[in-house]
A and B are shown apart, each in its own frame.
Chain A
Amino acid sequence: GAVVSQHPSWVICKSGTSVKIECRSLDFQATTMFWYRQFPKQSLMLMATSNEGSKATYEQGVEKDKFLINHASLTLSTLTVTSAHPEDSSFYICSASPSGVYEQYFGPGTRLTVT
């Protein structure tokens, strides 16, 4: 149990375009999902907290107009990187928690390359 999927697993896009990444909890409902960014050989950096039915909460320094998050249902959250630039190239990972518990389960990640 507690499986989280992400789609796509990797994506290459041209500078200036937008990319949408989906995060789904497959076998549980998640009122809260999290989005992280990870650079090579570094730790995970929390970008935002996504709550079903409400606006996402962004960490300090994360541009909310650039990284649009939508948590449309208890099993789906999306991250849209708008007007992507090469510096947005990174590994994006989501996590989800079953309601009311601490355990966070991570998706397999999405590798974004902006050319």
Chain B
Amino acid sequence: QQQVKQSPQSLIVQKGGISIINCAYENTAFDYFPWYQQFPGKGPALLIAIRPDVSEKKEGRFTISFNKSAKQFSLHIMDSQPGDSATYFCAATYNDYKLSFGAGTTVTVRA
């Protein structure tokens, strides 16, 4: 049973467009929400992370929006580039440091 639900399973976006990935959670004890980017055959790389006391965090073209009352958070990739084509995982954890991962979203950016 996944504690973090992620959607969509995959998406295709044109170069320069915006990719949006959504995640929802139930466990209100979660207090750290990272996003990871994974290329085929590689380990996940930490992309950006947020705490629930912040509603938005931006790093370059990547933005996390966080809605604590709705228990939802999302990743926006602005000005998507072909090099952004990868699988993205949302995750959540609390004081045991164990990450609960979403199912993953495969993003394809068409040139």
Residues of chain A touching chain B, judged by Cβ–Cβ distance below 8 Å, are 4, 6, 32, 34, 41-44, 46, 49, 91, 93, 95, 97, 102-109, 111
Contacts and interface: CB of A to CB of B under 8 A. Distances in A.
Contact of B36 (A41, A97, A106, A109): A106
23 contacts: A4-B43, A6-B43, A34-B99, A42-B103, A42-B104, A43-B2, A43-B89, A43-B104, A44-B44, A44-B89, A44-B101, A49-B97, A91-B41, A93-B44, A97-B97, A102-B34, A102-B49, A102-B97, A103-B46, A106-B36, A106-B44, A106-B45, A107-B43
Ranked 3 nearest A-B pairs via Cβ: A106-B43, A102-B32, A109-B43
A48 to B, nearest CB: 10
A68 B36 CA distance: 27
Interface string B28-49: 0000101010000111111001
Interface of B: 2, 32, 34, 36, 41-46, 49, 89, 93, 97-99, 101-104, 106
Looking at A34, A106, A107, which has the most chain B CB atoms within 10 Å of its CB? Answer: A106
A114 to B, nearest CB: 18
Nearest to B36: A106
B46 A105 contact: yes
B32 A108 contact: no
A8 B17 CA distance: 38
Nearest to A100: B97
Nearest to A111: B41
Contacts of A43: 2, 89, 101-104
Nearest to B4: A43
Contacts of B43: 4, 6, 93, 95, 106-109
Given A106-B43, A108-B43, A109-B42, A49 B32 contact: no
A39 to B, nearest CB: 12
Given A43-B89, A43-B104, A104 B97 contact: yes
B104 to A, nearest CB: 5
Contacts of A44: 44, 89, 99, 101
